[in-house]
């Protein structure tokens, strides 16, 4: 099993508070044939220097020659030599046997993806919560997997975090590297593209990807500026293209309609042109019953009685007024 080399690629930007724990979780892996490639995206804090404190023969640390997390991941992939690729965010943590068990389960496959459960945490690991059990499973039909993940079969929409996957190098070379034109939902687009060209997804239980949640609103996952909404819309259009190249079933249309409605809800009322594009695409596909929680009891009452648009408008303009 150790004959299969794994490259762990970590894009690093202003994560000085967390990078030590992230690197240490890789160094502590039970699997031995690993190289660690850290690409610092011109951090303005002490992240790069903290990474340099680690001394290991299997550790490569470089400054990004481009800009952004996707560029950093692509540069890391360019430098890598592993048979399998583990993308790892600079503030996340892998359970000690995560890589070992996924490599063992893949058993040399160059066409399948391995995935595991993700625990969301903000403080102690043991206080984290796993909420993706219903969405992470083994299947020889990746299109079914993504349909369920995206809201098909009347399921709530969900996500699988970047670090939960282990990906064969050959599959990335076939599907293409990260899309550097996207500012948000880069991981959703990338793993949709890679996953839908795979021959199957293998779920490995009893190992954990620990995903650190931030409540400051400063991390990319929480950003909702116009550039981010346009990126999510573009990523959704690409995901639709990838899925519909495999199947145009009713449930696939339902899944993509739900993705578009999600974009429309996020865009309303601030970015009305993005909203119009997304809601039109949703309706062309048959519409969606997706109806997320938008706020506290008052906002939810308004949503139930007057609709989500009015509820979202009240919440948005209320926050705007209070922040003046």
Predicted TM-score (pTM) of the model is 0.93
Residue 324 is predicted with a pLDDT of 58
Q: Is residue 73 part of a domain?
A: yes
215/68 same-domain check: yes
Residue 214 is predicted with a pLDDT of 84
Q: Is residue 1 part of a domain?
A: no
Q: Is residue 236 part of a domain?
A: yes
Query: Rounded mean pLDDT of 49-67?
Result: 93
Structural domain for 33, as ranges: 6-220
Tell me the average pLDDT of the chain: 94
* Alpha carbon distance, N-terminus to C-terminus of the chain: 60
145/42 same-domain check: yes
Contacts of residue 144, Cβ cutoff 8 Å, sequence gap at least 6: none
100/186 same-domain check: yes
CA distance 217 to 45: 18
141/276 same-domain check: no
- CA proximity to 195, closest of 309, 89, 114, 315: 114
- CA proximity to 103, closest of 168, 17, 179: 168
Q: Is residue 290 part of a domain?
A: yes
**Model pLDDT for residues 193-228, shown as the tens digit of each residue:** 999 999 999 999 999 999 999 875 454 444 579 999
Residue 318 is predicted with a pLDDT of 82
Total domain count, the chain: 2
The first and second tokens of residue 208, run together, are 């954990």
Kindly tell me if the per-residue pLDDT of 25 is higher than 80.
yes
70/212 same-domain check: yes
92/212 same-domain check: yes
Residue 322 is predicted with a pLDDT of 63
202/288 same-domain check: no
14/90 same-domain check: yes
Give the residue from 185, 220, 255 where a domain finishes: 220
Give the residue from 220, 243, 266 where a domain finishes: 220
229/307 same-domain check: yes
167/110 same-domain check: yes
141/282 same-domain check: no
Q: Is residue 175 part of a domain?
A: yes
């Amino acid at each position: 099993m150790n004959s299969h080399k794994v490259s762990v690629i970590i894009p690093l930007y202003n994560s000085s508070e967390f990078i030590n724990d992230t690197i240490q979780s890789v160094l502590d892996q039970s699997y031995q044939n690993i190289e660690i490639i850290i690409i610092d995206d011109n951090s303005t804090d002490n992240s790069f220097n903290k990474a340099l404190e680690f001394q290991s023969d299997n550790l490569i640390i470089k400054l990004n020659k481009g800009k952004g997390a996707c560029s950093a991941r692509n540069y890391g992939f360019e430098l890598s030599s592993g048979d399998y690729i583990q993308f790892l965010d600079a503030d996340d943590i892998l359970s000690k046997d995560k890589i070992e068990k996924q490599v063992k389960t893949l058993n040399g496959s160059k066409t399948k993806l391995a995935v595991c459960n993700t625990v969301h945490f903000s403080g102690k690991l043991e206080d984290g919560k796993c909420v993706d059990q219903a969405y992470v499973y083994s299947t020889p039909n990746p299109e079914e997997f993504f349909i369920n993940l995206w809201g098909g079969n009347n399921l709530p929409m969900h996500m699988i975090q970047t670090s939960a996957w282990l990906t064969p190098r050959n599959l990335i070379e076939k599907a293409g590297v990260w899309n550097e034109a996207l500012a948000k939902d880069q991981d959703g687009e990338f793993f949709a593209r890679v996953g839908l060209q795979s021959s199957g997804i293998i779920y490995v239980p009893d190992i954990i990807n620990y995903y650190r949640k931030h409540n400051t609103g400063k991390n990319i996952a929480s950003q909702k500026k116009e550039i981010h909404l346009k990126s999510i819309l573009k990523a959704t259009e690409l995901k639709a293209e990838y899925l519909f190249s495999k199947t145009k079933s009713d449930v696939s249309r339902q899944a993509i309609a739900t993705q578009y409605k999600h974009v429309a809800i996020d865009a309303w009322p601030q970015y009305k042109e993005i909203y119009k594009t997304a809601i039109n695409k949703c309706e062309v596909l048959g519409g969606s019953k997706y109806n997320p929680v938008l706020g506290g009891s008052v906002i939810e009452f308004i949503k139930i009685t007057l609709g989500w648009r009015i509820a979202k408008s009240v919440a948005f303009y209320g926050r705007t007024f209070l922040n003046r």
